[in-house]
Amino acid sequence: MKWITRERPKIDRIACPWLIRRFIDKDAEIIFAPYAQIKERARELNATPFDIPGVEFTHYEDRCTFDYYLQKYDLKEPALQKMALIVRGADTDNHSSASQASGLWAISAGLAYNIKDDYELLEKGMIIYDALYSWAKHLQQEKHTQSPTERLFLQVFNQYIQQKKCEKSKTPAWAKGLQEIIQDQIDTNLTLSLKEIAEGLNLHPAYVSREFSKYFENLSFGEYIRKLRIEKAINLLHISNYSLSEIAYLTGFSDQSHFTRTFRKHTGKSPSEYKKSLAKGKKDTKG
């Protein structure tokens, strides 16, 4: 069977061919084409289009095309369902759906940047999704807490646990240490979740979450990180001539659209609107 989709694949358009070849039709032929040519070429080649608007195999509400294949072909294996959360999070830029989603996005974007031939990109991507499937099927409980950032997080939380008494009116040492680590790492995508911290300390995640927000402006870990990134973005808008895409990169956002949505949520304006208001204010001051 032939399947056709848009050229320059990254997430869904590699995940879906992997799913097709591994679980639906091992001899499937995958074709990439410019968006404007897909429907015409689909008719010529008798191929089924996917991951484009207006066809059966596409996004529905908050679900991506990978989800639809699972539903259509009744693929209920737990490992595939776990992969669906990760693929959906990476493909829809909702990295909160699975802690692995931001990593999959980063790897996929880097792979597409390095490999210009779509068919070579697909073959290399198949290896990545084979690995992700093996992890989802056999290795989800494995841990590898070795990065410096992870060790520092666990260290400061362990220090907190060892403190038997703490004055409520003062910020405890563990929170101050954690704040310093976050500030040092604000330009990167922190992958250690509160759930992982809790597991490392043998505590319930809800308890750790509650203690975190108590000392960090009543915000969750994710909310606090986003707040700091936006504050840094605002500062860069004031003091630098960086483009908006450069500022998005420097403040750790996966892409400019994610940056724009988060910025608007925090400030009520898009970054471009905010930048224009700054320029207007400077002009009025000179006048």
Which fold does the domain 223-286 belong to in CATH? Arc Repressor Mutant, subunit A (1.10.10)
The domain ranges of the chain are 2-139, 148-218, 223-286
pTM: 0.53
Amino acid occupying residue 101: A
pLDDT tens, N- to C-terminus, the chain (287 residues): 999 999 999 999 999 999 999 999 999 999 999 999 999 999 999 999 999 999 999 999 889 999 999 999 999 999 999 999 999 999 988 888 888 999 999 999 999 999 999 999 999 999 999 999 999 999 887 766 555 555 666 666 666 666 544 444 466 666 666 666 665 555 554 455 566 655 655 566 676 667 777 777 888 777 887 888 888 889 888 888 888 888 887 777 767 788 898 899 999 999 999 988 887 776 665 55
d(CA 231, CA 152): 24
Between helix 173-184 and helix 148-162 the angle, nearest 10°, is 170
Q: Which helix (H) or strand (E) holds 31?
A: strand 29-33
